[in-house]
Structure 1
Amino acid sequence: MKINKLVLLITVLAFMVSCNSGDRGQVVGAKGKKWHPEKPYGMTLIPGGAFIMGKSDDDLAGMQDTPTKTATVPAFYMDETEITNSEYRQFVEDVRDQIIREKLAEMADLEGKTPGNNDIGEFAYKDADTSNLNAYQKYMINTYGNEQRELNYDVDLYLDTEDYPDELYAEVMDGMYLPLEESYNGQRSWDVSQFIFKYSEMDIQAAAKDRTLKRSDVVEQKEIMIYPDTTVWIRDFAYSYNEPMHNDYFWHDAYGDYPVVGVSWDQAKAFCRWRTIYHNKYQASKKKQPVNIYRLPNEAEWEYAARGGLQGATFPWGNNYTLNDRGCFMANFKPLRGDYAADQALYTVEADAYEPNDFNLYNMAGNVSEWVNSSYSTSSYEFMSSISPSVNDKNNQRKVVRGGSWKDVAYYLQVSSRDYEYADSARSYIGFRTVQDYMGTDKTLNAKNN
């Protein structure tokens, strides 16, 4: 009996030691990797703080939609420039290539092609050889089908017709272009209607307000056609010759550093989601923690950033004038009763043109207006919160645009001026920039100044 008690005591002690894992029975917290904030490429850190939101001067246009209000915003990262054509093209090309790989894998699967023969089989699903699959992968494929099959990214796509490996590959690629009879100037064009980005979005506001909702009730599947509407250069201006901008502005390298236009609010949000996924794929490959989401700024964040830490300023550069001390215009807009060229630009300019504000943000006034993640209402400021204020009603399709553009008069360049456009509309004078929440609360403007 004594021997049995001794064995039991030893067993209990061994169990307790193994459970404690060196913490001596104390609550020391779950172990995880240490987090080091990393500034995203092309962004600047905007320290959080409070400011007076709204018109500090007379509302000359009589809009009466920007009463002054004290607002406080946490720290966040913001793109130093508007999203450029080259950056948005990276989005378009990545989605296009993903669709091509899916079609190639499906064709290879249908024809029973596998790697090793220098044909379309090189682009087969990675699970074409089932011997290397683990139990979880087999379960997911059997349960969810092709949605859970892994594409082969180890092989480069062939976009030049001379490099196509076989006729099946050529058949898939031919389906990605417009028909021959629709070719123009001897060139076949991509069928951009197929460039559709799919992602899911959760309505956290609805979930928080109604706890009876299931997760499936608040998760919405989105499918967005992402190619910019280049016809905006024609449609926005009747009886005006803008065909060169329509033909070249988005795709030609000459305009690579210019802000993308012709994108709707929905397309801008799709870009944000893609940028998050794209960044986190890299994080996962390096076994790093995922980054916070990229998103559109809300209205308060945008105005706070545009002011550059200056209280009561009319423009981002801090005074009431659009000219500097040398008589040069400070932004790209429509000055002098419509003399577009007086500011050294007829349409848009490079995204980093003109001087940045004190937060190192370029073109927060002029060049292109910018989508923000807020719905427009004349009374928004009356009922929004004073901390992290945001009013975005999904039933209100009028979305706020800020900053004014190359075709606007100076009033719309003011940091407090508001305008709107419908979420599914695209214009030749509206672009966007993105933000990312800073993980932590110690980056505030007050702390920075102390």
Structure 2
Amino acid sequence: MKKFILLTTVLAMLASCGSNDRGELTGVQGKKWHPEKPYGMELIPGGAFIMGKADDDLAGVQDAPAKTVTVRSFYMDATEITNSEYRQFVNWVRDSIVRMKLAVLADEIGKIPDDGGIGEFAFKDADTANMSVYEKYMFQNYTGLGPTGYEGRKLNKDVDLIFDTAEYPDEWYAEVMDTMYLPLEASYNGQRTWDVNKFKFQYSYMDIQEAAKNRGIKREDAIVKEEIKIYPDTTVWIRDFAYSYNEPMHNDYFWHDAYGDYPVVGITWQQAKAFCEWRTINKNSYQKSRKGAAMVNTFRLPSEAEWEYAARGGLQAATYPWGGPYTKSDRGCFMANFKPVRGDYAADQALYTVEAKSYEPNDYNLYNMSGNVSEWVNASYDPSSYEYTSSINPSVNDRDNKRKIVRGGSWKDVAYFLQVSSRDYEYADSARSYIGFRTVQDYMGTQVTKNGN
């Protein structure tokens, strides 16, 4: 017993050595937090607003009765996600798949970096000499446990991929690259194009709602795994408009640099969600490379309430982001890109979409919250959802309801759909030439608030 008391006393003395708390309850002192505004985003200060139709429901839909709700602070993209930004996602997925295929083949034929050729793209753990203790432990205990046996192995991203066929280092490299293109019989005009069906993004997330409702569920059973084809459906330009010549948009809109700053379209709701997951992974991979840098919050689609609150720009009971009730300025210029006159798409100086940073932003410095392209939000459509949602951070997203909300109206819509309170929907697996998206990120902290004015 004496030995136990002595040991406890020694441990207590050791624990207090080097501490400056003088035995007081001071809390764990972490690093000082400095919020960093994400690139290309604007801070939307939380607050209360009247959500829903504040004026006549001319269409008689009656799915948006006015109610006062409150949302927390968040960051939102100043513009819709552009073709250029989405291409960064597509290229990242493509390059990751190519690197994985190269590493797997190098592993199968026993090549290591010193061998050159495809060996330069071998897994980093192909040579265990320079691995840390932790990396060796993970390699020895977890390699081979996944479906393919290659899960968790680190790709070598220090070597640039080679896309010029004249510079392929060996036949093994050529064999891998050949699998990423359409077969010769599917090519024409002497051009081989990427097989976009190979561009699949895999990710996993925890279904917090399910875990919270079912307390007995195991953690691993609440983890959802997804695999999504991420290439935009460029055929939407043809399918959305029968008896209309839109082949140039199908051929060039996504890939050509002339449209780099235009909003991406042909994206399903699932693809928009996948983009958000990738953006989080991409940013946090960079944060990990910076010693001591904090991980960032998840990028996601906005809730319906967040979208409407941001679109209003602090204006209560406004019809449009600029106020209203008119769609023209005092100088007679249209305030957004939409279909202002029957059959006359070009009356607002635009035939299809316009660059994402066009027209005047609203008071939160957000562009094209009305018009240009409609935007996916993280909500399922229920005509009566306003009747039962919470008044704080309202959100309705039923996994079994495939009708997902789109907001803001587009270049092909009439003014009614541009109203910040108008609701519309499309099915989650559908892609359209007039639907895009923008992302949000939660603000860390609660001190930034603003009452509606």
TM-score (norm 1): 0.95
2:37 aligns to what? 39
* CA spacing shift, 1:121–1:65, aligned 2, 3 Å: same
1:271 aligns with 2:275: yes
d(CA) in 2 for partners of 1:53, 1:290: 33
Q: Quote how far apart the aligned CAs of 1:21 are.
A: 2.1
* CA spacing shift, 1:120–1:369, aligned 2, 3 Å: same
Deviations 1:148-197 (A, max 9, x none): 21111111111111221111111100111000111122211001101000
1:157 aligns with 2:167: no
Deviations 1:360-387 (A, max 9, x none): 0000000000000000010010000000
2:104 aligns to what? 106
User: What SS is found at the alignment partner of 1:301?
Assistant: helix
Match of 1:91 among 89, 92, 96: 89
1:17 aligns to what? 16
* CA spacing shift, 1:382–1:12, aligned 2, 3 Å: closer
1:60 aligns to what? 58
Greater Cα shift, 111-120 or 222-231: 111-120
d(CA) in 2 for partners of 1:10, 1:177: 70
Match of 1:257 among 244, 254, 261: 261
Count, aligned residues: 445
2:326 aligns to what? 321
Within 5 Å, which residues of 2 pair with 1:272-311?
Answer: 272-287=276-291, 288-311=293-316
d(CA) in 2 for partners of 1:186, 1:161: 14
d(CA) in 2 for partners of 1:84, 1:159: 25
* CA spacing shift, 1:415–1:118, aligned 2, 3 Å: same
2:336 aligns to what? 331
1:126 aligns with 2:131: no
* CA spacing shift, 1:218–1:13, aligned 2, 3 Å: closer
Which amino acid in 2 is paired with 1:130?
A: T
2:143 aligns to what? 144
Which amino acid in 2 is paired with 1:251?
A: W
d(CA) in 1 for partners of 2:155, 2:11: 50
1:206 aligns to what? 210
Deviations 1:323-366 (A, max 9, x none): 11111111110111121000000000000111111110000000
1:216 aligns with 2:220: yes
User: What SS is found at the alignment partner of 1:81?
Assistant: coil
Which amino acid in 1 is paired with 2:286?
A: Y
User: What SS is found at the alignment partner of 2:226?
Assistant: strand
Deviations 1:256-289 (A, max 9, x none): 0000000000000000000000000111111211
1:183 aligns with 2:182: no
* CA spacing shift, 1:54–1:12, aligned 2, 3 Å: closer
2:421 aligns to what? 416
Which amino acid in 1 is paired with 2:124?
A: K
1:26 aligns to what? 24
Q: Quote how far apart the aligned CAs of 1:11 are.
A: 4.5
Which amino acid in 2 is paired with 1:200?
A: S
Match of 2:246 among 242, 247, 251: 242
1:171 aligns to what? 175
User: What SS is found at the alignment partner of 1:137?
Assistant: helix
d(CA) in 1 for partners of 2:408, 2:311: 8
Within 5 Å, which residues of 2 pair with 1:363-382?
Answer: 363-382=368-387
Which amino acid in 1 is paired with 2:75?
A: Y
* CA spacing shift, 1:109–1:64, aligned 2, 3 Å: same
User: What SS is found at the alignment partner of 1:222?
Assistant: strand
Q: Quote how far apart the aligned CAs of 1:445 are.
A: 1.3
2:67 aligns to what? 69
User: What SS is found at the alignment partner of 1:399?
Assistant: strand
d(CA) in 2 for partners of 1:328, 1:334: 14
Match of 1:343 among 348, 357, 364: 348
* CA spacing shift, 1:276–1:12, aligned 2, 3 Å: closer
d(CA) in 2 for partners of 1:43, 1:61: 34
Q: Percent identity?
A: 73
Which amino acid in 1 is paired with 2:152?
A: Q
* CA spacing shift, 1:16–1:42, aligned 2, 3 Å: closer
d(CA) in 2 for partners of 1:185, 1:9: 82
* CA spacing shift, 1:336–1:140, aligned 2, 3 Å: same
1:78 aligns to what? 76
User: What SS is found at the alignment partner of 1:445?
Assistant: coil
d(CA) in 2 for partners of 1:15, 1:33: 24
The alignment's C-alpha RMSD in Å is 2.0
* CA spacing shift, 1:279–1:12, aligned 2, 3 Å: closer
Unaligned runs of 5+ in 1: none
d(CA) in 2 for partners of 1:367, 1:17: 63
d(CA) in 1 for partners of 2:322, 2:188: 46
d(CA) in 2 for partners of 1:65, 1:9: 66
Q: Quote how far apart the aligned CAs of 1:136 are.
A: 3.5
Q: Quote how far apart the aligned CAs of 1:59 are.
A: 0.2
Deviations 1:267-324 (A, max 9, x none): 0000000000000011111121100000000000000000000001001110110111
Q: Quote how far apart the aligned CAs of 1:133 are.
A: 2.9
